[in-house]
Structure 1
Amino acid sequence: MATSVVHARLAATVSLLALSIAAPALAQTAPGNDATVVEDIIVTAQKREESIQDVPIAVSAFSAESLDALKIEGGAELVRAVPNVTFSKANFSMYNFTIRGIGTKAISASSDPAVAVSFNNTPLIRNRLFEQEYLDVNRVEVLRGPQGTLYGRNATGGVVNMIPNLPGPDFDALLKAETGNYGSMRGQMMVNIPLTETFSVRAVAGLTKREGFDQNTFKGTTVNGRDLYTTRLSAAWEPNDRFEANLIWEHFEEDDNRSRTGKQLCTTDPGPTKVGKVTITSQLIRNRLSQGCLPGSLYDDAAYGVPNGGAFAHIFLASLSFGNDAQGKTIVGVPLGTDPYAGVTQSRNLREISTSYDPVFRVKNDVTQFNMAYDLTDRLKLISQTAYAEDAYYSSQDYNRFVSNPIFSNTDGQRDPFGKLIIGPSALPGGYYTDPQLGTSNRMLSADVSQSNNRQWTQELRLQSDFDGRFNFSLGANYLDFKSQDDYYVFNNVFTFLAEYYYNVAVGLPANIGRQPLLCTPQATKECVYVDPTPIANLAGDGHNYFRSKNVIHTRSWAVFGEGYWDLTPTVRLTAGLRYTDDRKVSTPYPSQLLLGADRGNPGPMSGGYVSQGYPALPDIDQSWDAVTGRLVLDWKPVTRFTDDTLVYASFARGYKGGGANPPRVDINPKVIQYQPLAETFDPEYVNAFEIGTKNSLYDGKVRLNMTAFYYDYDDYQVSKIEDRISLNENFDARSMGVELETIFRPNRNFRVDANIGYLNTRIGDGEGSIDIMNRTQGNADWMVLRPWLQVPSNCIAPTKHVETILASSYAENFKTLALQGLCGGSQRTGSFDPNYASIVPLWRLFNFTYNPLTDAPNGGRGFEADLSGNELPNSPNWTANIGAQYTFFLGGWDLTVRGDYYYQGSSYARAYNTEYDRLRAWDNANLSVTLEQPDNGLVFQAYVKNLFDKAPLTDAFTNSDDTGLTGNVFTLDPRLVAFSVSKRF
């Protein structure tokens, strides 16, 4: 979108907003308008029922009717109704819901969401409230800003609280059916039955099925479809006026081919043609000096390229000689210099991919909640909330969203050094290889699996007062126990090929070329790498022929809190709250073991591993923190001539979110391979938040106008990036400031306008830095990026002069490549760079220089830090705005309502480095709906269009690891959806 168009649309939004505020003056002069008051919403933002206009917190709340009018059918769509909010799916099993620039950018099994997601006031660390669709909702509340007293430890950004409808004393029932494009079918039902005067039950169910939005051109299938359902059963018992209890059980399940991520983009890096004075004519050398993808704009045509697959260490290793046959012919698995993606192109359509595997997406989630409230006296109430939740998640998809060329050599007719035909598992008949997880193919195949299993138990007790005097309070305590195991796998048939034929044959038993690979058992006398024979759908998980990140966490947290409310005068109230939180997290690290094996006598003589099979745990990482948080608020309800009701408030809040352990790295024996150290843990984050705001009702209730200004001072904000095949979490100081405006204008019962606008300004603190894996040299020509040995996960930098020296030599290309790899990560193959292991002679010492990246290169060879000072926080657009208008025609018993909504989100950055590669351009979205309702009979017909102009903006991006070429997974909106529904309430 051109900048002028963006500014014009934003100006139009602001103009309409101004008109909505000014228009009541005109409406007052027009008699007979039959004006209607803007409806009030009762919220529990302070864990007690209050009018939203009386709560001194920036909170947006939506009734079921409002959600339906806005066509907000799930948590992801709340961005269209709340200022300074963004949302995107995440690369693994979670999401990123950002409020005022603060979201869940930390990726770790031990990290907490910065925006707490609650089900009926119970926080859920893992949840599916942003994946399932709203069903029989009473209201959704979005609290902006840290809620460090009542909601606690992981609410530094805010809270999203979904409140379901509970059983009531009257019979009620609803049936709803919907159909739309993409073969969409939706259904909902609800029945509320009072069994006695004191006991009622309520049952609700909803399902959604639709075909996929995306085309897989390689297989001729549609992917990214949905097949899900939700059921909720609840019971309420109120035997007398002093006691009430309710029990809620909700089950959500999904089983479809929804894609966890979107298309994969890459600006191809062909590798340098010249280093110093040396011109590079060898494609093999150029490939090995390429990082796969360059940091170009995601909006350029070049971004729809593919990585330079010749840069991959596993492809290079598979092309090295396994030996010679009886005729002296070199036996290799992959021809030397192969680029699996040479000549492969991508469609520029973000909804079109080309993959060998359609996605698999499965979720089961159960939440059970038991609530009791007992009036100890007429003025004191004791409340208990108990909840138990379980979540099982499994997602698998092609690791790349494009297909490689055929790559394997054909062994038909080839003979081994003993003159025997190459047969059995060592053979590549017709150039095809069979991988136990990925199947048979002549191409390079790669897929991933992200899965998690967790459970959570919480208990909260609160004592609340309701005195007639000037003082009231809320006291409470809670406990949380959370256990989780997260696994992330990456499979590649070249990994398995290397395990079987490079390590288990060529290295383990050189004489066995062309014969059975070494049987990798605990009794094996040679080094071996265990190959898991089980299929991907029923994986044993103990193989070293794939990457596995296993993360186990146990979190226990308890807190005591209190909040007091003093009416200093009839119009001035002071709110003061404190919370003490004690967190303990125990992480059990299971280092990854990709292509690592062991020799009983001399651990890891070739691969650098300690074990051949399984994933032994390292000692637990036991972390604990305590924190005092809270808030102080002064609010005033002045009587003015120009408003009906006004609240002015100023607040200070302190928020806290616990730290954690970074995922475990590769378990490499330093006597064999050395690589750079990384932080094992990351720190908690803290925020001091200052806020002023005002809430107003004007013109006899026709207008609601709420405004807020805020300033955040953040210590150690947690941000993640992929480095060394793990999600490395770092801490940055930052600040965030902005203003927000929300308004509703209803001059008469026919017409309504609602709008919001948010301005946000975020800055990372001075002196903060981080290594950008897309640009490790930071433009310093004296240094170059190099590819490492296979077991070393990340690229490194080395002096350009040393690279030039190696390239200028007369050695063979293979030897030069191995020497270059030795500059990146020392090994028995390439030579140690650690003087403690001088018995391993580095190859590069043959070129008459010495080099140890641990001491001679910045940050141990990882690269130069990028200066982040003054950069914007990720996913923090300067502007968000929404305006919606509806008009109702009353047609003698029928109400016809036409509504339109327009949303705008300004540009932002996907990463903290704020480069052109990180930029996410501004985007907008429009929706329309027409509703025909017969209120007396509860009959409703509705047609709607979402994403009217069928736009596919980039809403976020995620950069993958060095050893897979630094590709970027991108996310976008759903396409244009058209649907028609009918519902009947009984």
Structure 2
Amino acid sequence: MAFNNTWRTLALVTSALCAMPAVATAQSAPQSEPEASNVDDIIVTARRREERLQDVPLAVTAVSTESLERANITTVSGLRTQAPSLVITPGVGANKNTPTFAIRGQSQQELTILADPSVSLYIGDIVAPRSQGANGGLFDLASVQVLKGPQGTLFGRNSTGGIVQLIPNAPTGTFGGSVGVTVGNFGTLNSELALNLPLTDTLWARLAIVNNTDDGYLYDVNLGRNVNFTDNQGLRFSLRWLPSDTITNTLVVDAFHADEGGSGGYIRDVNPAGSFNSAPARASRNYPTLESMLADQQARGNRRTASGTPTFSKVDTLTIANTTVFELSDSVSIKNILGYRDVSSHNYEDTDGLPIPLLEIERQFEQEQWSNEFQIFGQTGALNWIAGAYYFTEEGLDSGTSITGAVDPGLIQPSSVFAYPSWADTRVAAENTSYAVFAQGTYAFAGVEGLSLTAGIRQNWDERSVVVQNRTNAACRFTTDGDNNPATPETNPGLAGCFLPLSADYSEPTWNVSLDYKFGDGKLAYIAHRHGYRTGGFGARAATEAGLQRTFQPETVDDVEVGVKADWRFGNGAFLRTNLAVFYADYQDIQRLLTDPTTIPITTVTVNAQQASIKGGEFEFLFRPVQSFELSGFWSYTDAEFDEFIAPGNIDLSSSPFARAPKNVYSLSARYTPTIPANLGSELSFGASWFHTDSYVDNDTFNVTAISPEYELLNLNMDWRNVYGTDASLGFYINNALDEEYDFGLLNIYTSLGFNSRTPGDPRTYGVRLKYEF
């Protein structure tokens, strides 16, 4: 309670600061009109050092803070409209604070601590391997960087699809800051404070606070309220110390707290042959038919549900990073990055979206991690190099408790599955450890100006240790009988002995090599080959000891990427930037999560598909014919297929489609910035963007209903900076201006329990943003 009150106090302080009058406002003199070809360099850290985006021989998208602010993007899920090949969906059977990332068709549906994602999220230089609380870092950022394809050398294991990196603003030696408030429909009230404070000439601090609330938009007719409301707060404190000309130490502390509604959902498809749709099963549980409940839901539409379940999502995270840079000489430096992250999450979801407790899931998750990365980098003649060592360890308790086919309690369902008499718990305590050493160098050939070769290698060692404690309210859920025979007093360990220790070790070298050539002014062509690896693990839900002991193996990927990045300047001052990348990736033992329809509760298991291939490409452009008008956009194409996929039981799934891999995704944006009198402000701009994604399969276990349909979004915004010569700015936004109805998969177990449930995408939202900078 004290923690929550602290957040409320900070939110009130932020709101009060937003109301302060502008004082000591500086009047800036009118500036001459810049040419259209003047484009700011975008700095990225894709190779663990600061470089111009156009100089990096890799497919990287950098999303500016201005883009996030104009579109009112306050969660990582909103990034899906900002970068090609990036797909972000709610975690399957999870909630809005546990998103699933996919890049170039690569994603991980399994959310337990016994498996790792194929797209890694980084907060600064600290990996966040568990996506619970991923929304917490999206404020006061310098940029968001999306790296596509395997990142096996410098960002380590478990990045076979790519990474999403949130780069916080760093403290500077200049006093200043900003306060802002956004008010919009659905009760939206967001406030933010950023303060840069140089304490001394060598000690600089930065504080950022954010508070986001709204009422949600999915109305539950049984509860009489919206269920997917937002209520979260974030705080970031940074301290930079420069004790000498050669030493810099930066401390960053991130905290996030959310106490809000769940994703909420509704049923879209039913299977008449579902396990609990027979007349005897329904009569014993007071269930209507699935078909009648589906008809009722269709009459309500996809922004109203009759679940009656008071779902919630609660999460607290704390991330600490301490980075020390020591310049040994003009050409050699060392860097040490010490990281800590603590995650506590508790959520409850009605995964069937029905007014009956067909499948309710409550998940409690605790995780603590430590990491340390040591780097030494420098320049030796024509060789730019980096080498280092990495250590990571995490411990956690992961409990997913469910109730399946309980007796209907009436209109209002309990707020916890433990209120039902016969719950089942998938419960694991795990410790994961990783070690690595790496080196990479870029050599600039003296004989051919502009030609460089980059090569890097990394050796990874991973250890998994787990204790499985799967149980019901009265018995152990697994038996010691590996032949799936019914449990007996002799084979059932009982609750007192319901624990199974397991361990496994994995290792793999990963590497990358690329050749790039800078030709002309601001033009780069490259070809790159990379070998990536994602560690194996254990399935957590098997019904027997033999099934729990069965591991899934690491997956590996070998890709080839060819790209051209080019800036074009024309005689009339016009500017065009075109970045193109095409790729082919061959995957071995790619990890997929399958549903076993023969068990109640539903059992899922992670297996390896023997071979898969993914090919495609991305194109990004920016065209500025004159300084006042800009066109930009992107297009990505992904063609993913299994070459061989023989599942347990000798079932051939080779023709199954890939999950979360839309074939075409594209966006087109325009911005008009007319010249205005200096007394009106420094800039007035009008923007519009159009986003489209093809339909895609949303579940590793494919059936005819596991499809998220295509959708298109029109977003509009206006930005007015330094209103009437003050330090205040106004912004207006309308997202999904045409009020397109679209949805994401919540859970699909159509072939067993007999339903496919969905959670709706954002409806039309609009609002106004006031920001004051000082």
User: 2:527 is aligned with what amino acid?
Assistant: A
CA distance in 2, matches of 1:80, 1:536: 34
Task: Please give the alpha-carbon distance, in whole angstroms, between the structure 2 residues aligned to 1:537 and 1:311.
Answer: 27
Match of 2:374 in 1: 461
* Identity across the alignment (%): 23
* Pairing partner for 1:392 from 313, 323, 344: 344
Q: Which residue of structure 2 aligns with residue 589 of structure 1?
A: 468
Inter-partner Cα distance in structure 2 for 1:613 and 1:568? 68
Determine whether 1:555 maps to 2:432. yes
Letter of the structure 2 residue corresponding to residue 886 of structure 1: R
More helix by share: 1
Quote the residue 2:740 is aligned against: 951
Task: Please state whether the residue corresponding to 2:38 is helix, strand or coil.
Answer: coil
SS of equivalent to 1:951: coil
Give TM-score scaled by structure 2 length: 0.86
Q: CA deviation at 1:953?
A: 1.6
CA separation in 2, counterparts of 1:545 and 1:49?
56
Q: Is the 8 A contact 2:511 2:532 kept in 1?
A: yes
Alignment of 1:292-441 (within 5 A): 292=275, 308=277, 310=279, 312=281, 343-344=292-293, 345-348=295-298, 349-404=301-356
The answer to whether 1:154 aligns with 2:158 is yes
* Alignment partners' CA distance in 2, 1:398 and 1:704: 47
- 2:240 pairs with 233, 236, 243, which one? 236
Q: SS of the residue aligned with 1:765?
A: strand
Pair 1:706-2:491 in alignment: no
User: Which residue identity is paired with 2:139?
Assistant: L
Give the Å deviation of 1:127: 4.1
Does residue 264 of the first structure (1) align with residue 267 of the second (2)?
yes
Structure 2: which amino acid aligns with 1:685? E
Residue type of the partner of 1:927?
N
CA 342–129 in structure 1, closer or farther in 2 if over 3 Å, else same: closer
Name the CA distance, whole Å, in 2 between partners of 1:247 and 1:389: 14
The letter of the residue matching 2:722 is Q
| Pairwise CA distance, 1:972 | 3.3
Report if aligned partners of 1:663, 1:726 keep a CA contact under 8 Å in 2.
no
Q: CA deviation at 1:495?
A: 7.6
Give the distance between the partners of 1:684 and 1:492, measured in 2 at CA: 32
Q: Are 1:109 and 1:553, in contact at CA under 8 Å, matched by a contact in 2?
A: yes
CA shift for structure 1 position 71: 4.1
- Aligned partner of 1:38: which letter? V
Q: Which runs of 5+ in 2 are unaligned?
A: 1-32, 478-483
Give the count of matched residue pairs. 711
Kindly provide the CA deviation profile for residues 103-134 of structure 1, in whole angstroms up to 9, marking residues without a partner as x.
12334321111011111122121245643362
Distance 1:666 1:615 in 2: 18
Rounded to whole Å, the distance in 2 between the matches of 1:877 and 1:605 is: 42
- State whether residues 95 and 104 of structure 1, in contact with CA within 8 Å, keep that contact through their aligned partners in structure 2: no
More strand by share: 2
Deviation at 1:908, TM superposition (A): 1.8
CA contact (8 A) 2:699 2:706 kept: yes
How far the C-alpha of 1:606 sits from its partner, in A, is 9.5
2:635 touches 2:667 (CA, 8 Å); kept in 1?
A: yes
Structure 1: how far apart are the matches of 2:36 and 2:485? 84
User: 1:621 corresponds to which letter in structure 2?
Assistant: L
Distance 1:907 1:605, change over 3 A: closer
1:968 CA displacement: 1.9
1:574 counterpart (447, 450, 453): 453
In the alignment, what sits opposite 1:627?
Answer: 508
| Candidates 731, 734, 742, aligned match of 2:612 | 734
Distance 1:583 1:239 in 2: 37
CA contact (8 A) 2:371 2:392 kept: yes
Cα 1:122–1:255 change in 2 (3 A) is same
* From 878, 886, 894, the counterpart of 2:671: 886
Q: SS where residue 445 of structure 2 aligns?
A: strand
Deviation at 1:726, TM superposition (A): 3.0
Q: Does the CA-based 8 Å contact 1:925-1:947 persist in structure 2?
A: yes
For 2:581, the aligned partner's letter is T
Give 1:201 deviation, angstroms: 0.9
How many Å separate the matches in 2 of 1:490 and 1:652?
Answer: 44
**1:611-662, Cα deviation, whole Å (9 max, x unpaired):** 79747444322111110001000001123xxxx3211100100000001000
| Equivalent in the alignment of 1:900 | 688
Q: Does 1:170 align with 2:174?
A: yes
Within a 5 Å distance, the mapping from 1:616-695 to structure 2 comes to 616-639=497-520, 644-666=521-543, 680-695=550-565
Q: Out of 752, 768, 774, which is 1:980 matched to?
A: 768
1:347 aligns to what SS in structure 2? helix
**Counterpart AA for 1:943:** F
CA contact (8 A) 1:145 1:158 kept: yes
2: distance between equivalents of 1:309 and 1:168? 67
SS in 2 for 1:479: strand
**Does residue 942 of structure 1 match 2:731?**
yes
What amino acid is the match of 1:630?
W
- The alpha-carbon distance between structure 1 residues 649 and 446, as it changes in their structure 2 partners (threshold 3 A), is closer
Distance in 1 separating the partners of 2:688 and 2:561: 32
Cα distance per residue 1:677-715 (max 9 Å; x no partner): 687221110000101001101015711111001000000
Structure 1 SS opposite 2:107: coil
2:643 corresponding residue in structure 1 = 765
Structure 1 residues 681, 720: CA separation in 2 closer, same or farther (over 3 Å shift)?
same
Question: Contact (CA 8 Å) 2:145, 2:166: kept in 1 or not?
Answer: yes
Distance (Å, rounded) in 1 between the aligned partners of 2:674 and 2:558: 49
For the structure 1 residues 677 and 645, does the alpha-carbon distance in structure 2 shift closer, same or farther, using more than 3 Å as the test? closer
Equivalence map 1:862-873=2 (5 Å):
865=651, 867-873=652-658
Q: What amino acid sits opposite 2:297 in the alignment?
A: S
- The structural deviation recorded for 1:222 is 1.4
Aligned to 1:474: 386
Report the 3-state secondary structure (helix = DSSP H, G, I; strand = E; otherwise coil) of the residue aligned with 2:69. Answer: helix
Question: How much does 1:176 deviate?
Answer: 0.2
- 2:203 is aligned with 1:199: yes
SS of the equivalent of 1:746 reads strand
1:462 partner amino acid: Q
Equivalent position of 1:39 in the other structure: 40
Residue deviations 1:833-853 (CA, integer Å, cap 9, x gap)? xxxxxxxxxxxxxxxxxxxxx
Task: Report if the CA contact (8 A) 2:136-2:255 is conserved.
Answer: no
Distance in 2, matches of 1:173 and 1:215, equals 38
Offset at residue 607 of structure 1 (A): 7.2
The question of whether the paired residues in 2 share the 8 Å contact of 1:212 and 1:258 is answered with no
Instruction: Calculate the aligned-residue CA RMSD, in Å.
Output: 2.9
Say if 2:94 and 2:746, in contact at 8 Å, map to a contact too.
no
- Choose 1 or 2 for highest CA Rg: 1
Please point out which of 655, 660, 682 is paired with 1:875: 660
Offset at 1:576?
0.4
Instruction: Specify the alignment match of 1:182 in structure 2.
Output: 186
| Alpha-carbon distance between aligned partners in 2 of 1:156 and 1:875, rounded to the nearest angstrom | 15
